[in-house]
Structure 1
Amino acid sequence: MHKLMLALAATVAFAGSALADPVRISVGSYNLNNLPFPVAQGLGLYEKEGLEVTVENFASGGSKTLQALVAGSTDIAVGFYDHTIQMQSQRKAVVAFVQLARNSGLVLARGKNSTFDPARPETIKGARVGITSPGSSSDFFVRYYLQRNGLSGDDVSLIGVGSGSAAVAALEQGKVDLLVNYDPAATFIEAKGVGKILIDGRSDDGAKAIYGGIYPTSVLYATQSFIEDNPETIQKVTNATVKALEWMNSHSAEEIVDKLPKEFIAGDRDTYIKAVENAKAIFSKDGHINEQDIKTPLAVLKSFNEKVAAAEIDLTKTYTNEFVGKVPNVAAN
């Protein structure tokens, strides 16, 4: 009888696995803008929706994730909204369907030997500026800052250094003079005495000073064809992710860190908790994409990206709130 029960249990487990909806999700980095995704993992929300998620972390910025999505080697990307605009200018339909981070979260910090002074923008000339990767939103941040101040990308050296501890190490070791990055790197820089934050886009006021408006960043996006062919999968992913956002909004930074997969946590735990606390203001509460805020990334890209500037961009085709609008109103446990 005992053997029969074990056999039945194994059969049920196998059947459950066979019935799970497989989906490949890639993430550009484990910076805190993307935090709701691993929180949803840690809470087991994707499994509760009947999903079998395969995750790939490129750990080098969103541009690599975008390439994987367009190439068809992943189904859904955790990346930045501005990539959907880039893709439309290249006649590729990539659509954001859940917003994770409603604001930039980027900071610009200088190392101990840097002479850059934001009050004198020209002092950035000749600087080695660390970004997550070429073509990433940190890259856009620098180029927009230069353009707004009558400078160009040729006035600095842009160097891809990744995010988190690797990015902080690049600044600490003098491999770069300035660093444009997100939390947890932003908090680590000051906690370790590695450098000083000069421009801070984590607050709404900071983002408005940098970009002229709120700058939505991390979203879940997929190709239009995948969304059309797999609406049930997209809805399940949306349900789980929005529930994670709701859960984050009602829990402390320490409780959030407790739910994270171990590989997501960088540095010492106390400093990481502080980084999460510093970043909480940027997270969406409900996953909705704001049609006014997305005009800011378009304006930024048009200022220096020739393909975007030359294209007729239809923002209504870069996002949808259809799936967020169908999420059951049930909070995560």
Structure 2
Amino acid sequence: MDKFTYVVKKEDEQYQIKDILRHNFTFSSRLRKKLKQNNSIFLNGAETVGWATPKEGDIISVRLPEEMSNFEPEDIPVYPLYEDDDLLIINKQPGYVVHPTRGQPNHTMANAIMKYMLDTGQNFKIRFVNRLDRDTSGVLVIAKNSYSQEELTKQMKRNTTRKLYTALLCGLVEGDEGTVDLPIGRPDMNRVERGILAEESGGYASVTHYRVIHRFPAELVRLDSSLTVENGFVEGQNEPFTEDEASELLRRGLIYKTDGYTLCELILETGRTHQIRVHMGALGHFVLGDTLYGGVLCKKSTDGLYVPLAKRQLLHAKKLCFEHPVTKEYMEVEAPLASDFEIL
């Protein structure tokens, strides 16, 4: 199928086809090179070369090269929110890494989408436009061709997209709205954690706007992120603990009493790794369930045990607003909350 077509005008006759493509389409130099290598440029339906000079009324068409991914298909649920010839947008569920890595070669969303392609009779190269952490749910965009990926990436770099998140935060946030404008970086390159880091020390400008939706007062305790096996807690397991253990941890300053949690909507101007988790933590309101940065809240149950309120960080990519890379239509795609937000 011809993805792009152009009817040559009288004033175009002085130009070669490669110049006409450069003037009328936003193809990157990398994509133009790929089109040339794959003989993907046509003049009046026949293969042509970039230095050919067309006449008025001629039709130049471009077919994007077909490319494929070779991940192992896995039967992992995929929940489409929007799909056409250029994009697949899904509601990612928590607990899945987006793309295979050396430490996580399988059981990723890439494996899930390979199975989805088999089930729907499709075949395209998987190109993730945005990335979500393993335990973050919500809108995940996959481009089906390199042009769509490049165009959406440009929009994100220009900050012309709008990214809205929903999060439950530890504690009762003061004030109904605010902005965090603090640079984020990686203080220790041997660790995954990010933190507030001055730009002269390698941090990147980062801006997050937040708005309080609802506050939930409650008598809770928050676990410090430094809790480990050695000092009385198995990090990341979120196991219940007794009142006696709670008293000891309170005495040692390893857990803190808090007055509830807050549901917030957040808008990102930038898209740094762990941006919301770091910025909200800088305010003292860690994302609920975030074991990495210190957002584990526990509530005393009827049997006297302190039980974590969440088994993962309750952060959700709620909505993405952008311009469709091919049709140029304004798009708003929204993902319903994952079921574990039922704590609300």
User: Shorter-chain TM-score category?
Assistant: under 0.3
Superposition TM-score, scaled by structure 2 size: 0.22
- Larger relative contact order, structure 1 or 2 (CA cutoff 8 Å, min sep 6): 1
Superposition TM-score, scaled by structure 1 size: 0.23
More helix as a share of residues: 1
User: Looking at CA atoms only, which structure, 1 or 2, has the larger radius of gyration?
Assistant: 2
